[in-house]
Amino acid sequence: GREAIGPQSFVLRSFALPYADALMQGVVDVTAQSPFRHMDTPGGYTMSVALTNCGQLGWTTDARGYRYSRIDPMTGHPWPDLPDAFLRLAQAAAAEAGFPGFAPDACLVNRYEPRSRLSLHQDKNERDYDAPIVSVSLGMPAVFLFGGNERSDKTRRVPLFHGDVVVWGGVDRLRYHGVMPMKDLPHPKLGSQRINFTLRKAG
């Protein structure tokens, strides 16, 4: 089923479940080459969310700012290849939400532990706002915050569970969003963590 949370944003409940084992193997392969790490923000904080990337471009942050880069600054090597299962799932989900022909070149992988949170922000580092973003949730449940185009706009809380996929695009692409502090509600397979990955067209 397709649950609309905005004019061009949809939650596809359990859409990733048939892919879950292949996706988790993909995360193991990616993190063997480019491990999860906590990055610094230009504002002088260290993120409570650990991250890595795969695909041609990876999102990074440090004291100098946010950017996409071809090289992992931790390893000095290109980011790992995008696992096939990530691409197949993203294209199927995008098509289901009305965005056929999605060709992502970047995949940001976030790891949340109990108390990790992501404060309200916009995703503005991508070159092309016409392409959607596909997000896949695995492991512990989270409460996603979905706001408007201004930081002060009212936010709506959307619970996200293991296997849920969300597609965001079009008029919803620049809406503020974030993740509430994580509760420790261990998942039977992944334990006390939530893995979220977002496929994007960044370049």
Residues lying near ligand MD3 in the complex (CB under 6 A): 108, 110, 118, 123, 133, 135, 166, 168, 172-173, 175, 177, 179, 196, 198
**CB atoms near residue 174 (< 10 Å):** 13
The residues pairing with 2 across neighbouring beta strands, listed in sequence order, are: 12
| Residue 133 interacts with which of Fe ion, ligand MD3, none, CB < 5 to 8 Å by class | ligand MD3
The residues pairing with 121 across neighbouring beta strands, listed in sequence order, are: 177
Contact call for residue 164 and Fe ion (CB under 5 A): no
Residue nearest to Fe ion (CB): 123
| CB closer to Fe ion, 42 vs 191 | 42
Closest Cα to residue 156, out of 10, 8, 5?
5
Q: Look up tokens 């960044």; give the residue.
A: 202
Contact call for residue 123 and Fe ion (CB under 5 A): yes
> What is d(CA 167, CA 96) in angstroms, rounded to the nearest whole number?
9
| CB closer to ligand MD3, 92 vs 182 | 182
Shortest distance (Å) from residue 198 CB to Fe ion: 7
Stretch that binds Fe ion, among 16-24, 48-56, 115-123, 140-148 (CB under 5 A): 115-123
Shortest distance (Å) from residue 70 CB to ligand MD3: 19
Dihedrals phi, psi of 49, to nearest 5 degrees: -90, 130
Q: Look up tokens 């700012």; give the residue.
A: 65
